[in-house]
Structure 1
Amino acid sequence: MAAAAAAAASPATAPCFPSTHCTRPALISLRFSRRVKVAASTDNPSPAFNSVTAFAPATVANLGPGFDFLGCAVADASLSLGDTVTATLDPSLPPGTVAIASITSPSRPSLATRLSRDPLRNCAGVGAIAALRALGVRSHAVSIHLTKGLPLGSGLGSSAASAAAAAKAVDALFGSRLPRDELVLAGLESEKAVSGFHADNIAPAILGGFVLIRSYDPFHLIPLSSPPALRLHFVLVTPDFEAPTSKMRAALPKQVAVQQHVRNSSQAAALVAAVLQGDAGVIGSAMSSDCIVEPTRAPLIPGMAAVKAAALEAGALGCTISGAGPTAVAVIEGEEKGDEVGRRMVEAFASVGKLKATYTVAQLDRVGARVIATSNLE
């Protein structure tokens, strides 16, 4: 049986890294951020199901000029573009604990071996523990099964998808009692150890659609509702190249000129307005107009400048780096041009960056983390 981790009150440090090595004790509890905390409930709720399976989609963070405060959820029809977690009541474990029973990755079998089954060193485990603590569960334990649909270090919110699916599954297991912000904060406990204290992946992974993170103290999220008629699609092109978030963040400029700040602020504001108005053209144009982060990160992704140019030449409305990269994301209205844009971007990665790449045409996911299967109590 995998190591279990206590979810209840007394705190201790709990990093969450994709490592296969673990020397931690089997029973340990979780320290939460001093800035934003998941409130521990005293309810000790009874379970509503024996098991719950939840899916959380991929996410595109930053969206160009919205560094660390804008993001959106994207998914394909088959729900393969995201992670899935099954949370099951496990009477063999100490009450109030979490264990990771298995990790699989059907499309990338080697990926599963890179991820720790220590719940305190796995994003799904930390998300599940945080949800249990927020719920106040003390009389039951949970084992989770993680299915990875997203690669690591791709810029598609892989860690956020694991944490979001786990938090959603655990919450639903006990009757879906957590409010929206508590679910996001549970996932954020996982995110902060992997990619920094920012919610532009985890918030849309849980809520779906576009989300603006206004502040952390007080914690304030603003979902951005776009008109139903907006047929926004995303061409996601992922090269065979891993871009660790820590390395990409280290490349950021330490100082920004006032003129750059003004330009990026205006583009981010235009992007928010375009989402609310359903203006795909302005969404794409604003996403392409980051003059602070993209110029420092693009040179670290072989061929990125050529890939962006190829996307625009093929008819994309805009193109930028998804999150920290290396995935490049192009925006189109409707999916008719998706294959052509994707092929041109893949060719640019190959010819200029000397990298193999694959593309996926996805749509805006307006749902976010959701329950896809349940098993009733016996």
Structure 2
Amino acid sequence: MAASIKISPISRSSFDHHHSPIPTHPRFSTVRCSASHLSPQALTTLSAETLDPAPVLRSVKTFAPATVANLGPGFDFLGCAVDGPGDSITLSVDPDVAPGTLSISSISGAPKLSRNPLWNCAGIAAIATMRMLGVRSVGLSLSLEKGLPLGSGLGSSAASAAAAAVAVNALFGSTLTPNDLVLAGLESEKKVSGYHADNVGPAILGGFVLIRSYDPFEILQLDFPADRDLVFVLVSPEFEAPTKKMREALPAEVGMKDHIRNSSQAAALVAAVLQGNARVLGSALSSDGIVEPRRAPLIPGMAAVKMAAMEAGAFGCTISGAGPTVVAVIDEEEKGREIGDQMVEAFLVAGGLKAKATVAKLDRVGARVISSSNE
């Protein structure tokens, strides 16, 4: 029998949206919104007038892409979405599920994941979205298809959360903003790896994003020019790097010299994205002197893999998210495949690990509806 959880509503008025005073730019956009950092359980104590909207669809299927977080020196505040792999959600109005209740009916691709909505990333994000909308009169059934491996460093939990939030929103007429959906996804991320939007932000918005602030919440979309080529080489070894363990490796203090250097590289990375300069982007991505040196030794063969990527012509290479996936940057797909082959070989020789290489471009769309039905 599928596990389910009763939904208590929260008014959208609890989320105070206002315009940013920062001037807009054709390659730069920003939205701020205030939100208390409440868990789904804590949100049940809130009461407010809600619309309790009727669904406009009977079922919907959504997809959310993989993401690369940190991008070297942008630890916890930079990330991007990559085209190709991702997670899918099928969400339906289900008369067999009690009104105001969410049930996870099935999970494929990751049998170890819990079907309890309070302990599943998709469930938590869906619940948060339902509360924002004030859904009370219908029950929903959710099915999760995992296309991303767990603990891969490709934003697996964020993809599930993003797809679920977009699915709930679409089912009820897409009245919430993308930033509302990022906040819903953050409730899920907080449960798994902390209140960090550098995965769920790009998973929902697509492209490159920068998290400027959490209180008030402000996320900036960085527009890499559409007429410039950017290719990601994602090499994933058969090795799990739990986010908790990788965070425990971080230094408790950072020296001023290292702080200045990393800040400079992060600024260069942002400038390179806006300018469409893949070479500078790769160089900056490779220059993290704080996080990567602590995490690299925990991934067998990482140093050799990075060296192999650079020697094969990559513009830059670093750990994707918390790892163990390693990401290299180039501007040609064919060259990217050659680099991937060398990185896979280095993982096998230096780390004793089998690995798979994927060549992908930037996903500029983010989480989206791929099919829907009124039947």
SS of residue in 2 equivalent to 1:367: coil
Q: How far does residue 141 in structure 1 lie from its aligned partner after superposition? A: 1.1
SS of residue in 2 equivalent to 1:114: coil
1:43 aligns with 2:51: yes
SS of residue in 2 equivalent to 1:31: helix
d(CA) in 1 for partners of 2:174, 2:219: 20
d(CA) in 2 for partners of 1:6, 1:264: 45
Distance 1:41 1:257, change over 3 A: farther
- Give 1:273's match in structure 2, choosing from 266, 271, 274: 271
d(CA) in 2 for partners of 1:286, 1:363: 19
Q: Deviations over 1:223-259 (max 9, x none)?
A: 0011111211100000010000000000000011100
Q: Deviations over 1:130-165 (max 9, x none)?
A: 111111111111101100000000000000000000
SS of residue in 2 equivalent to 1:205: helix
Identity percentage of aligned residues:
68
Equivalent position of 2:340 in the other structure: 342
Question: Aligned Cα RMSD in Å?
Answer: 1.6
Contact 1:63 1:287 in 2 (8 A): yes
Q: How far does residue 103 in structure 1 lie from its aligned partner after superposition? A: 0.6
d(CA) in 1 for partners of 2:41, 2:78: 27
Number of corresponding residues: 346
Q: How does 1:249-328 map to 2 (within 5 A)?
A: 249-328=247-326
SS of residue in 2 equivalent to 1:188: helix
TM-score by length of 2: 0.90
Distance 1:273 1:38, change over 3 A: farther
Report the residue type matching 1:358 in the other structure. Answer: K
d(CA) in 1 for partners of 2:144, 2:111: 12
Q: How far does residue 92 in structure 1 lie from its aligned partner after superposition? A: 1.1
Equivalent position of 1:19 in the other structure: none
Equivalent position of 2:86 in the other structure: 82
Distance 1:135 1:322, change over 3 A: same
- Give 2:61's match in structure 1, choosing from 43, 53, 57: 53
Equivalent position of 1:3 in the other structure: 3
d(CA) in 2 for partners of 1:38, 1:365: 37
Q: How does 1:1-378 map to 2 (within 5 A)?
A: 1-9=1-9, 30-32=40-42, 42-76=50-84, 81-105=85-109, 112-376=110-374, 378=375
d(CA) in 1 for partners of 2:74, 2:358: 23
Report the residue type matching 1:5 in the other structure. Answer: I
Q: Deviations over 1:261-296 (max 9, x none)?
A: 000000000100110010110100000000000000
Contact 1:87 1:170 in 2 (8 A): yes
Q: How far does residue 38 in structure 1 lie from its aligned partner after superposition? A: 11
Report the residue type matching 1:31 in the other structure. Answer: Q
Contact 2:9 2:46 in 1 (8 A): no
Structure 2 runs not aligned, ≥5 long: 11-38
Q: Deviations over 1:57-103 (max 9, x none)?
A: 00000000000000000012xxxx00000110011111111100111
Q: Deviations over 1:325-358 (max 9, x none)?
A: 0000000113121211111000000000011111
d(CA) in 1 for partners of 2:279, 2:86: 27
d(CA) in 1 for partners of 2:72, 2:212: 17
Contact 1:38 1:186 in 2 (8 A): no
- Of the structure 1 ranges 201-210 and 173-182, higher mean CA displacement relative to structure 2 is found in 173-182
d(CA) in 1 for partners of 2:316, 2:46: 37
d(CA) in 2 for partners of 1:264, 1:96: 47
Structure 1 runs not aligned, ≥5 long: 11-28, 106-111
Report the residue type matching 2:308 in the other structure. Answer: A
Distance 1:41 1:100, change over 3 A: farther
d(CA) in 2 for partners of 1:322, 1:293: 12
d(CA) in 1 for partners of 2:308, 2:373: 48
